[in-house]
Amino acid sequence: MHRLSLCGLRCLLVLAALAAALLSRAAAAATPEDVARDLRTIEAQVALASDKEVVLNRGLVSGVQEGDLFTIFREGTPVKDPGSGRTIGVLEEPVALVQVESVQDLIAVGRPLLQLGPLAKGLKAVRFKEIPTLLVDLERSTGSFQYQSRVKLLLKQLDWAAPRPGDETLVQDWSEARLQERGINLVFVLAPGELLMFNRKGQPLRRWERE
């Protein structure tokens, strides 16, 4: 009786290990929905700012990670009601793009990758929003086309650039200069079995496995 129970226990442990392995393998294959959740917008404010460093009031607790890109906004042109003349809103203008380099529980520290104006305490910052973005499909299959179309639809807060012939050469022989000419600051590379994300300098920011 003791032998049978011991065998049963061992069998259960083996089955549990196999199930865990299968679950982990399935979880590693990121769907477009998983990618969108990972890159969801997070709103913050600038707590401290200089030309070389920006401190945001959101951190690990809010889901911020190292490598995240935040667009910094300032208030732009007021919008007036044509009938009453009253101000009914204010347009936002991007003033900088900041990459997070270190994260604590409640703050994130980054450096400006692009700056169009002065940075100041209290400015609004939003993660992965209105960033000129290019997706390069190296797999070029029906499945990859469906995958990238879904990613673009779910991450519509990014500013997707239209693909051009020869985009593959931008990432195969990385050309920051050519990306800069087109105003591209974020690059997704869809390769067999994976989706990669880089900043304009070619530094890797994220990697997702896919089927």
* Contacts of 160 by beta carbon, 8 Å cutoff, 6+ apart: 133, 134, 135, 152
d(CA 52, CA 107): 17
Cβ–Cβ under 8 Å, residues 52 and 111: yes
Q: What is the chain's mean pLDDT, rounded?
A: 87
Local structure of 188: helix, strand or coil: strand
Cβ–Cβ under 8 Å, residues 79 and 70: no
**Angle (nearest 5°) at CA 200 between 194 and 204:** 40
Whether the pLDDT of residue 4 is over 90: the answer is no
Whether the pLDDT of residue 17 is over 60: the answer is no
pLDDT at 143: 94
pLDDT at 184: 95
Whether the pLDDT of residue 25 is over 80: the answer is no
Which residues in 11-122 belong to E strands, given as ranges?
Answer: 43-49, 54-56, 69-80, 87-103, 108-115
Token pair 């959740």 in the structure block, residue: 37
Cβ–Cβ under 8 Å, residues 48 and 125: no
pLDDT at 7: 43
Q: Which residue has the higher pLDDT, 64 or 92?
A: 64
d(CA 136, CA 164): 9
Q: State pTM to two decimals.
A: 0.81
- pLDDT confidence bin for 28, thresholds 50/70/90: low
- pLDDT confidence bin for 211, thresholds 50/70/90: confident
Give the percent of the chain with pLDDT over 90: 72
The phi and psi torsions of 168 (rounded to 5 degrees) equal -60, -35
What pLDDT digit, counting tens, does each position of 190-208 carry?
999 999 999 999 999 999 9
pLDDT at 186: 97
Whether the pLDDT of residue 18 is over 60: the answer is no
Whether the pLDDT of residue 26 is over 60: the answer is no
What pLDDT digit, counting tens, does each position of 69-127 carry?
999 999 877 888 888 888 888 788 999 999 999 999 999 999 999 999 999 999 999 99
Distances (CA, A) of 46 to 87, 99, 121, 132, 165: 26, 13, 5, 22, 39
